[in-house]
Structure 1
Amino acid sequence: MQVQKMSLPTLTAMVVGSMVGAGIFSLPRTFGAATGPVGALIAWAIAAGGMYTLARVFQSLAERKPDLDAGVFAYAKAGFGDYPGFLSAFGYWTGSCIGNVSYWVLIKATLGAFFPIFGDGNTVAAILVASVGIWLFHFMILRGVKSAAFVNNIVTVAKVLPILAFIVILAFAFQAGLFSQNFWGGADMPQTSLFEQVRATMLVTVFVFLGIEGASVYSRYARQRSDVGKATIAGFVGVTTMMVLVTLLPYAVLARAQIADMRQPSMAAVLESVVGPWGAVFVSIGLLISVLGAYLAWSLIAAEVLFVAAKNQDMPKVFATENKNQVPAAALWMTNIVVQAFVISTYWSRDAFALMLSLTSSMALIPYLLVAAYGFKLARGGATYEARPQERSRDLVFAAIATLYTAFLIFAGGLKFLLLSAVLYAPGTLLYLWARREQGRRVFGGLDWALAAIAVAGAAYGVYGLVSGTIAI
């Protein structure tokens, strides 16, 4: 069967659809609580530059290592060994699971504006309804129901239309005086250094850019291979522009203190303050359709990550099994059991959406760092550059910046999320032990013992922090 080819506009729309997720609907409050327009502009400049270099690393590796097609963790394994490869796979999968939890929290928080029983998305009623939703989607996917093209089209329109309407309406309501008052941080807000303001937004910017590495997956559908690069750049610029405007325009219609105190999804609350209740309903309906579509897609992605890792012998082989509908059933069961556990855990969180957002980003950073470091290692060593040596310096610069950027993000996230990530990584190592025993291979070699020891020590300190209350969630 001939594969239908995509035009440049269609390819660009696919890139936009894969990048725009639930996070954009939460940007006004998340940034408002952290910084003013100056800090926001600096944060987006750093994030856009860093994520662009990371995207270029992914594109370069896809061209130079076409045989490594088992996901982002394949690069970590090829560059640094089996255990780092496992950690990358486990981190990416766990981050996908937690990202799915953030969808349910945001859905219930959105409904909470109209039905107070759902609160901020982590009440008992919200958890019960989310749990029903998890398993309804689970059994639907098990039957082989996948996201059809028309569903994706509806979801993409539902994502972009409310965002564009929000931008246009706030642009007309722009108050230069109010924007000026908020410019350096605004009144009635804690006085923190500009560095700390920017640092507080870094994990948020990672969350909204998650999926940027997926842009190149559409390359085989392009009418011309050159369209892939054009679509990636156009989609990246378009989405970044939308996110910057969604972040900055609220500062021109409301005081920063008001924005910081809004409930999530804050985009709906901001629009309501400008045009009345219909604004909140409009954004909320678009968000619900968007997030439910995104949840279906990411449920499949999360299960696929575990399935492919098992096929690649990085996870126990049980997760490489499929049912009669060619759905990775065991991987899907494991994924949704983990999602369910995290949904229940949100009951004890003061700001469940912010916690899940930051933890999703934190778990993605180790895989991203290893990919960037592998790109740097490859360019520095010169392998695969024999045919086009002139590209080596360019790729080396991009990989170096991407490595420094992802390392900075881990630092910017702070010790709290590093320890919470360790709490997840350490017990996850049991899956690695299981897989190695199945294969009759030595568990650890070289520096793997040191990495495992660091993960266990971090997890122990993290658990102590949670129990003692020094780490608040």
Structure 2
Amino acid sequence: MTDNGKIGLGALTALVFSSMVGAGIFSLPQNMAEVAGVDAIITGWLITGVGILLLAGCFLHLSRLVPEMDGGIYTYARAGFGDLFGFLSAWGYWLCATIGVVGYLVVAFAAIGAFTDSPEQIWFGDGNTLAAFVGESVILWLVHALVLRGVKQAALINLLGTLAKSLPLLLFIALAYWYFDPQIFATNRTTQSLPTPFMEQVKNTMLITLWVFTGIEGAIILSVRARKRHDIGKATCLGVIFALVLYVAITLLSLGIMVRPDVAALPNPSMSGLMAHMTGMPGKVIMSCGLIISVLASYLSWILYSAEVPCTAAEYGAFPQVFRVKNRHGTSQASLLMTSITVQLCLVLILWTGKSYNTLVLISTSMILIPYFLVAAYLVKLAYQTQASLAIKLTGIGASIYGLWLIYAAGIESLLLSTTLYIPGLLIYFTTRKRQTRTYAS
């Protein structure tokens, strides 16, 4: 990064990688083994790998076809399909990011509970106890104060956190490769212990794989702060490739260490249980510490995204104008405050209802389906309007098909949930537009 507050390629790539590789990766072995067999998991990763690389390609091509558009998720949807769809994309993405950071706080304190809790005294539990609520709230407002000091400083801390959390993940892969038993893996492939049809198993992996890749758009969201415009698409693709290699390696290597039903029965974070199986308690402690560092680094990434989207949307008139006002460090105080207050309210609901991380994952992931599809659809529209190359057109079409597949795989319940959460946003949108109309008329 430079002294003018702009973010370089390394920090941009770290933001993309860190926002994707958060809490989800530490529970990935159990999450996948619970819903699918080995062949279905491999098929699911093949579909996801191709689809997510196509989506990364969309961000890469759009950052070069329309380099003047900052903010990505909102501006692409608005340019392609009008103000209303632009707002819905911004609202859906903001909710996804905000609810996601709540999940990060919850799972971080659940991991701390592994060190502090005992059968006689539960301090943090699943991250939904009073003690956890107090700790989560303290971190929330400390990070709020940090981001107020500027995105550059927050991005630098995130870069250091990304480096720190990568070490236990690489250690797990090295140990899993060493302990990998081809016979156990072969047994997992041939044993048909799931009554679910094969394609249903593949569908059941989709929201899990989408959740662990949510954050792919990080460099685009912060595009206005990039040192070089050319770095935006490059950081997106590099972050996706690094994350994809990690995810596939961890998932498949785990199925060569323990039989699938045993992996599916592990408590989360399941990587800690696998480490304990390989190395005993020291490995479990290392992995739990890695989870805490990973989650807090990802939390910082997502707070940056959450605060940036309403600010960008306000510059185009979709959000109230107060969100476009920035302090001397370039941070929208109103946008950040709205995000932090929403996170605090969600923490109150978690304490009150006793809900856990998995519930938050479902809600958060359901909100990102439409914004991702609109990005791909906009590339298709723009590619034909500008007579772009066949490769660019095929990238957009392929990513659009992947987006529709995700919506289908999510199921009717997720669609109904996301539709319900879009309603408050519509009230804000129409109120804002009405006020603007009155202002122009006067």
In 2, the alpha carbon distance for the partners of 1:228 and 1:86 equals 23
Counterpart for residue 22 of structure 2: 21
Q: Does 1:304 align with 2:308?
A: yes
How far is 1:18 from its partner? 5.3
Counterpart for residue 272 of structure 1: 276
Among 167, 176, 180, the alignment partner of 2:182 is 176
Q: Does 1:415 align with 2:412?
A: yes
Q: Does 1:47 align with 2:55?
A: no
Give per-residue Cα distances to partners, 1:254-289, cap 9 Å, x unaligned: 222222222222111211121111111111212212
Distance 1:15 1:368, change over 3 A: closer
Alignment check: 8 A CA contact 1:310 1:320 kept? yes
- The aligned runs of 1:383-422 (5 Å cut-off) are 383-385=385-387, 389=388, 391=389, 393-422=390-419
Distance 1:434 1:229, change over 3 A: closer
Counterpart for residue 167 of structure 2: 161
In 2, the alpha carbon distance for the partners of 1:218 and 1:169 equals 41
How far is 1:140 from its partner? 3.9
Amino acid at match of 2:115: F
Alignment check: 8 A CA contact 2:58 2:379 kept? yes
Counterpart for residue 286 of structure 2: 282
In 1, the alpha carbon distance for the partners of 2:393 and 2:218 equals 21
Counterpart for residue 452 of structure 1: none
Counterpart for residue 96 of structure 1: 97
- Root-mean-square deviation (CA, aligned residues, Å) is 3.0
Give per-residue Cα distances to partners, 1:9-58, cap 9 Å, x unaligned: 88866764454333211211111111122111111111110111111112
How far is 1:308 from its partner? 1.3
How far is 1:110 from its partner? 0.8
TM-score, normalising length: structure 2: 0.88
In 2, the alpha carbon distance for the partners of 1:76 and 1:93 equals 14
- The aligned runs of 1:42-441 (5 Å cut-off) are 42-116=43-117, 117-144=123-150, 147-148=153-154, 151-184=157-190, 187=193, 190-215=194-219, 217=223, 221=227, 233-323=237-327, 325-347=329-351, 352-379=356-383, 382-385=384-387, 389=388, 391=389, 393-440=390-437
Alignment check: 8 A CA contact 1:38 1:184 kept? no
How far is 1:115 from its partner? 2.4
In 1, the alpha carbon distance for the partners of 2:232 and 2:338 equals 34
In 2, the alpha carbon distance for the partners of 1:326 and 1:150 equals 16
More displaced, 58-67 or 338-347?
338-347
Counterpart for residue 33 of structure 1: 34
Alignment check: 8 A CA contact 2:150 2:329 kept? yes
How far is 1:150 from its partner? 5.0
How far is 1:400 from its partner? 1.1
In 2, the alpha carbon distance for the partners of 1:88 and 1:364 equals 8
In 1, the alpha carbon distance for the partners of 2:331 and 2:4 equals 22
Alignment check: 8 A CA contact 1:15 1:215 kept? yes
How far is 1:303 from its partner? 0.9
How far is 1:174 from its partner? 1.3
Alignment check: 8 A CA contact 1:37 1:183 kept? yes
Alignment check: 8 A CA contact 2:11 2:159 kept? no
TM-score, normalising length: structure 1: 0.83
In 2, the alpha carbon distance for the partners of 1:274 and 1:350 equals 33
More displaced, 262-271 or 74-83?
262-271
Residue 212 of structure 1 aligns to a residue whose secondary structure is coil
Alignment check: 8 A CA contact 1:72 1:88 kept? yes
Amino acid at match of 1:317: Q
How far is 1:164 from its partner? 0.8
Residue 240 of structure 1 aligns to a residue whose secondary structure is helix
Structure 1: runs of 5 or more not aligned = 443-473
Residues matched between the structures, number:
431
In 2, the alpha carbon distance for the partners of 1:230 and 1:144 equals 24
Structure 2: runs of 5 or more not aligned = 118-122
How far is 1:401 from its partner? 1.2
Alignment check: 8 A CA contact 1:37 1:185 kept? no
In 2, the alpha carbon distance for the partners of 1:109 and 1:154 equals 23
Distance 1:349 1:167, change over 3 A: farther
Amino acid at match of 2:340: N
Alignment check: 8 A CA contact 2:60 2:234 kept? no
Distance 1:6 1:134, change over 3 A: closer
Alignment check: 8 A CA contact 1:93 1:302 kept? yes
In 2, the alpha carbon distance for the partners of 1:238 and 1:279 equals 23
The higher relative CO (CA closer than 8 Å, separation ≥ 6) is in 2
In 2, the alpha carbon distance for the partners of 1:57 and 1:135 equals 35
In 2, the alpha carbon distance for the partners of 1:73 and 1:107 equals 30
In 2, the alpha carbon distance for the partners of 1:367 and 1:341 equals 24
Distance 1:149 1:229, change over 3 A: closer
Alignment check: 8 A CA contact 1:18 1:215 kept? no
In 1, the alpha carbon distance for the partners of 2:151 and 2:380 equals 40
